[in-house]
Amino acid sequence: MDLATIVGVLLAFGAIIGSMIMEGGNPAAIIQPPALLLIFVGTTCASMASTTIPSMLGSFKWLIFAMTAKPPDMNAVIEPLVKMAEKARREGLLALESEMESITDPFMKKGLQMAVDGTDPDDLWEILTAEVKSKKAAATNGASFFNDAGGYAPTIGIIGTVLGLVHVLENLSDPGKLGHLIAAAFIATLWGILSANVMFLPFGKRIKLVGMAEASRMELIIEGVLAIQAGANPRVVATKLKSKMVPTGPAAPAEEAA
Amino acid sequence: MDLATIVGVLLAFGAIIGSMIMEGGNPAAIIQPPALLLIFVGTTCASMASTTIPSMLGSFKWLIFAMTAKPPDMNAVIEPLVKMAEKARREGLLALESEMESITDPFMKKGLQMAVDGTDPDDLWEILTAEVKSKKAAATNGASFFNDAGGYAPTIGIIGTVLGLVHVLENLSDPGKLGHLIAAAFIATLWGILSANVMFLPFGKRIKLVGMAEASRMELIIEGVLAIQAGANPRVVATKLKSKMVPTGPAAPAEEAA
Amino acid sequence: MDLATIVGVLLAFGAIIGSMIMEGGNPAAIIQPPALLLIFVGTTCASMASTTIPSMLGSFKWLIFAMTAKPPDMNAVIEPLVKMAEKARREGLLALESEMESITDPFMKKGLQMAVDGTDPDDLWEILTAEVKSKKAAATNGASFFNDAGGYAPTIGIIGTVLGLVHVLENLSDPGKLGHLIAAAFIATLWGILSANVMFLPFGKRIKLVGMAEASRMELIIEGVLAIQAGANPRVVATKLKSKMVPTGPAAPAEEAA
Amino acid sequence: MDLATIVGVLLAFGAIIGSMIMEGGNPAAIIQPPALLLIFVGTTCASMASTTIPSMLGSFKWLIFAMTAKPPDMNAVIEPLVKMAEKARREGLLALESEMESITDPFMKKGLQMAVDGTDPDDLWEILTAEVKSKKAAATNGASFFNDAGGYAPTIGIIGTVLGLVHVLENLSDPGKLGHLIAAAFIATLWGILSANVMFLPFGKRIKLVGMAEASRMELIIEGVLAIQAGANPRVVATKLKSKMVPTGPAAPAEEAA
Amino acid sequence: MDLATIVGVLLAFGAIIGSMIMEGGNPAAIIQPPALLLIFVGTTCASMASTTIPSMLGSFKWLIFAMTAKPPDMNAVIEPLVKMAEKARREGLLALESEMESITDPFMKKGLQMAVDGTDPDDLWEILTAEVKSKKAAATNGASFFNDAGGYAPTIGIIGTVLGLVHVLENLSDPGKLGHLIAAAFIATLWGILSANVMFLPFGKRIKLVGMAEASRMELIIEGVLAIQAGANPRVVATKLKSKMVPTGPAAPAEEAA
């Protein structure tokens, strides 16, 4: 479980509250029920109107998955595949049947099982690749609810501020309350921007990132399963799989190894 | 019929009205005929000027379709195709003729009829694929009127506000009415943002979503029809079709099944 | 001639004037020569600086064409092609020579003439396809002048407003004229947004739409000419051509016919 | 040399100055050294920080080239290629050696020389095509410095205005000077928008346009050289090359010729 | 080490401070701890929430690499490859073994070593190309943290300003301090825009640029290694490699050489 999203959101709220306290303000001033209702209900509804109900529910499932899932460990994929390749080369493809129990990754299990069952390599490639494509499409769909919300929230915040200012402008008779009313009007803009930049947009980006990492892991597995089925040299399989790993920093594996 | 769009739009308006009432304002304050005329007629006309008349009328047909159509049930497509594949394998392609009555999906019917009629597989693929491409293009065109409107509305709202402020600034002699006039000027911005974010942009996104789901369903059917024509193994057909279904959540069918 | 653009622009201006009158303002207030000079000359010059002179003149020709041209009637393309396919199948490709007079579409004429002249099918495909690609590129270029203008105009409007406000701020000694001067300053923003959203952006979108419709018509013709040259079955030619037509609404031809 | 950019920039400045004079302002008011320093040095430095030094210098070379270069005359490319094709067909490829002196275009010369030298057609295609790809990449890189500047300038203008307003707000004791100080603060926004929309963005677009036109010319030459090497019919070569020319207006060559 | 980014950022800050001094302001006025806390911690946290922890750490490694790395010298790649091609042609592929020590580029070394070891050309191409793709993906990921920050910072600046204004509006009783408080509120917007345009966005662009240049260098090496393995003519290898170099200015190598 990678805590970047949860920690990031909490620390960002902390920075906002901290900066308010440093300026001598009262953080409770931003808790305005009408603004919160407008921004969170209004934004969610605008996003909901942009999609269908199953698709919206899927987005919430993706959010939970993206926040709690362990990022895929590519090395944990390569190692068992190379071991399988060695066994298949030595003892034949059918010998993998006995190893099937030890594989915990369901996609790798499915692929190897199909290989052991004698599925045609073209069919195998087509079926597994279609699942990768579906995974990518699902991640894009899953992120779109939050991307949409990140686009709607700031403008719905402006709606709240305009509504507040209209209310102020039609009640100019009591100048003593003006400052407080105008302040309240701006809280809607605040929450619109805040929810978009500290919650909705990061959520959408995280879902996309986690989904694409999943798809990369699946592509690595396909590569490995097809090589095992073709009886490739385990050393070449390892080199090929490593060359397809995307490093997180500027140094590619080739350069580190050199 | 998926109610997300209709319910979403109504609830968003509800949130706006609710937040106004909570702040002690009068929701009727935003009903300003000059602003409504400017935003809705002006935006529609700017979008109309960006397209042609048949294309504009098509967009309205798409809107009705996207709001009322049942989202395609992919399982409802896979099941009859697998049944057809079994029958075709057992009794030959011509035996499907007698089943044709039971198929309600016009695209599946057309594809199977062409297969039964002995159309060349390449021609069959080309004709059905061209219809999918046309469907995608039609959905993109259908959404573009509302996407355009969603882009124009906020700026036309600003036009209304500037016009209102100009009117205010040239009538500064009656300070008592200033607040009310400035408030009225901002209502145009309000409706510009509101119509874009709660109506036009969600409409465009929903049309695109529904059209693309339709196209996915059609692609699934093509895959199935071609497999039936080629006399493929029904079990493989079912696996292939399932691998091409896009799940709504993070769990791919492969992982659920595992 | 599809009137959407002309009617749309006129009605949008009507909505603006109507909303001004409803608010009790004087529509003549927005006729400010300095603002009009700045927006229309400044925007045109910024767009001109972004391109070359032949390309700019081409954009104006495209605008006239896009506003006045009849949108291509796809059925009017399919019918003569199917008739030609029948004749070519019955009497041979050379028999089309006598029909050449009756064809009014210059692109169809060119394609059929090349087919009758015995041009190699690969060359024929390459030459006609290159013209479609050129047409698409020409439409994109033609639209870019107005797309650029639509991007520049609002910001040039802000330049006008800032210039006006600077002028106001340096002449604060006469408070009685302030309101009028500030109003005048905002008129530049008004025209910047107005020209972009009611004129330039719709013009660019219309040119792109009309150009792409032209290209689709040409692609349909290529498909037909190649099928005629190959001596294809006229019924299959008709089905193929119809499957490539993009419907304006959600119902694809296949579904309507079913 | 196409004057659109130089004339466009000068006329746009003229429109700004003209509109200031019509409003009774003094154009010299916008010459504020602190604002000019901030916008032009700050923007250039932000763009420089986004790239490398050789890449930045290349962008300035591209700007000079894009402003002064004659737009490529496609007909001037087709004519000599067709003449060469005729000569090569009549007298053989080696006969072109004697014509090499008369060719002024270095890319055409290089291509024909390689053809005469007996370079393998696949190698010839690969080498010439790689240069077109490099030219496109170079134009995109060359434009990116000015595109970046066009993105940074308006926001750096806002930095200047905020700095100016902060200065004003901390010196509220002398109300008589407020107007002048606020006016000065807005000049930074003015120059930020002005430099982006009348200079940087048009420069970037012009570089891209000129670079892509160069690349199109080179693609036409490759097509011609390969056809000459293959001994193609000069009439077919001419037709093919003409079909690849992008017209500036809506009428394609085919339609004009018809 | 290309100093464009470091010098650019420092000079941009210099221009801001210089313009403040020219206007008679005190540059220290922009050092406001609450604003700095909000912008830098808030923006970093929002970007962190959009990604995972390893990916964020990778972005910082990329930043250091992109600022300090020497831009790849393409000529320094071509020269040794051509020398290797000559040696391989004269003395056979195995003769390169003795030269391996002199190669400092780890990617070139890896490629040549695999060629000498007799790796199948298709495997060699696949493995090396996968590393280029991984490098491009890594650079895009590395830049995304700063691109995200560049998008979040200005809006988090607005959050700070709104918070400050709310604080002001609720403390209107002491008019003497208003100017100073409003000024302080705007400093948050200042830092939001400043950090995005002078730091985060340039950092992201620089990382992308440097990563893509690295990838181009690697593609050049692949081209060369494959040609050496295939025993190609060293002169043709040199011409091919030069044609793939992207020039920084408008003149392509072909034109310079002519």
What pLDDT is attached to residue A22? 92
* Virtual torsion, Cα C198, C199, C202, C208, nearest 10 deg: 180
Which amino acid, one-letter code, is at E218? M
**Mean pLDDT taken over chain C:** 91
What pLDDT is attached to residue A33? 93
Confidence class of residue C178 from pLDDT cuts 50, 70 and 90? confident
pLDDT tens-digit readout, D162-182 = 999 998 888 787 777 888 889
Q: How many CB atoms lie within 10 A of CB B67?
A: 19
Q: What average pLDDT does this structure show over A63-82?
A: 88
Stretch (H or E) spanning A146: helix A121-169
d(CA B49, CA E201): 37
Which residue, chain included where needed, has tokens 């002028």? C167
**What does the block give as tokens for E46?**
């929002």
Of B37, B69, B131, the CB nearest to C243: B131
pLDDT tens-digit readout, D15-45 = 999 999 998 888 988 999 999 999 999 999 9
Q: What average pLDDT does this structure show over C193-207?
A: 97
d(CA C222, CA C15): 44
In C69-120, which ranges are continuous DSSP H helix? Answer: 74-91, 106-116
**What does the block give as tokens for E214?**
């690295």
Within 190-219 of B, beta carbons closer than 8 Å to C belong to 211, 214
Confidence class of residue C249 from pLDDT cuts 50, 70 and 90? confident
- Is residue D51 within 8 A of residue E6, CB to CB? The reply is no
pLDDT tens-digit readout, A234-254 = 998 999 999 998 888 887 544
Sequence-distant (6+) residues with CB within 8 A of E208 are E139, E140, E143
Instruction: Let me know if B27 is exposed, middle or buried by CB neighbors in 10 A (0-12, 13-18, 19+).
Output: middle
Minimal Cα–Cα distance from D254 to chain C, Å?
A: 6
D15–C159 C-beta distance less than 8 A: no
Confidence class of residue C45 from pLDDT cuts 50, 70 and 90? very high
Which amino acid, one-letter code, is at B38? L
Instruction: Let me know if C22 is exposed, middle or buried by CB neighbors in 10 A (0-12, 13-18, 19+).
Output: middle
Residue of C nearest to B47 (CA): C202
The pLDDT > 90 percentage for chain D reads 71
ipTM (interface pTM): 0.90
Confidence class of residue E1 from pLDDT cuts 50, 70 and 90? confident
D46–E243 C-beta distance less than 8 A: no
Asked whether the predicted pLDDT for residue E151 surpasses 60, the reply is yes
Nearest alpha carbon to residue E202 among B196, A123, D148: D148
Report yes or no on chains C and B touching (3+ CB pairs under 8 A): yes
Report yes or no on chains E and D touching (3+ CB pairs under 8 A): yes
What pLDDT is attached to residue A258? 36
3-state secondary structure (DSSP) of residue C82: helix
What pLDDT is attached to residue E173? 78
Instruction: Residue count of chain E, please give it.
Output: 258
Asked whether the predicted pLDDT for residue E79 surpasses 70, the reply is yes
pLDDT tens-digit readout, D115-139 = 999 999 999 999 999 999 999 999 9
The answer to whether E34 contacts chain A (CB < 8 Å) is yes
D148–E197 C-beta distance less than 8 A: no
**Mean pLDDT taken over chain B:** 91
Decide: pTM greater than 0.90: yes
d(CA A217, CA A229): 18
d(CA C243, CA C220): 10
What pLDDT is attached to residue B23? 86
Confidence class of residue B256 from pLDDT cuts 50, 70 and 90? very low
Neighbours of chain C (3+ CB pairs under 8 A): B, D
Q: How many CB atoms lie within 10 A of CB C71?
A: 18
**What does the block give as tokens for C205?**
């979108």
pLDDT tens-digit readout, A164-175 = 999 888 878 777
Higher pLDDT, D98 or D172: D98
Neighbours of chain E (3+ CB pairs under 8 A): A, D
- Is residue E125 within 8 A of residue E113, CB to CB? The reply is no
Residue of C nearest to B60 (CA): C249
Confidence class of residue B251 from pLDDT cuts 50, 70 and 90? confident
Asked whether the predicted pLDDT for residue A257 surpasses 50, the reply is no
What pLDDT is attached to residue D257? 40
Nearest alpha carbon to residue A205 among B66, E47, B132: E47
A182–E169 C-beta distance less than 8 A: yes
- Is residue C95 within 8 A of residue C88, CB to CB? The reply is yes
Q: How many CB atoms lie within 10 A of CB D170?
A: 16
pLDDT tens-digit readout, D221-232 = 999 999 999 998
Asked whether the predicted pLDDT for residue C175 surpasses 80, the reply is no
The answer to whether B180 contacts chain C (CB < 8 Å) is no
The answer to whether B68 contacts chain C (CB < 8 Å) is no
B244–A42 C-beta distance less than 8 A: no
Within 80-119 of A, beta carbons closer than 8 Å to B belong to 106-107, 109-110, 119
Residue of C nearest to B155 (CA): C193
Which residue, chain included where needed, has tokens 């690609």? C133
Confidence class of residue B254 from pLDDT cuts 50, 70 and 90? very low
Sequence-distant (6+) residues with CB within 8 A of D240 are C123, C126, C127, C130, D223, D227
Higher pLDDT, D74 or C116: C116
d(CA A24, CA E167): 8
